Amino acid sequence: MVGPGETFDEVASVMRDMRSAGCRILTIGQYLRPGRENLPVVEYIHPEVFDRYRQARL
């Protein structure tokens, strides 16, 4: 889940780690706050950012 405050570089770093560990399929989704007692959404991730994740050569 993205949206609770991570940076693009942090997500890319995790993606690199997962690839080096053998992961070949990854699904990234937008965090949406399910209730008031849960973490707030810090940032709505624009679809263009998801395109950048998809195109990243890690």
Q: Where are the domains of the chain?
A: 8-55
What confidence category does residue 57 fall into, taking pLDDT thresholds of 50, 70 and 90? confident
Query: How would you classify residue 3: left for phi > 0, otherwise alpha for psi between -120 and 50, otherwise beta?
Result: left
**pLDDT for the residue numbered 56:** 87
Average pLDDT, the chain: 94
Round to whole Å and give the CA distance between 54 and 51.
Answer: 5
Instruction: Tell me the pLDDT tens digit for each residue of 15-33.
Output: 999 999 999 999 999 999 9
Is residue 42 left, alpha or beta, with left meaning phi > 0 and alpha meaning psi from -120 to 50? Answer: alpha
In this model, does residue 34 exceed pLDDT 90?
A: yes
Residues sharing a CB contact under 8 Å with residue 14, sequence separation 6 or more, in sequence order: none
Rg (CA), the chain: 12
For the entire predicted model, the pTM comes to 0.82
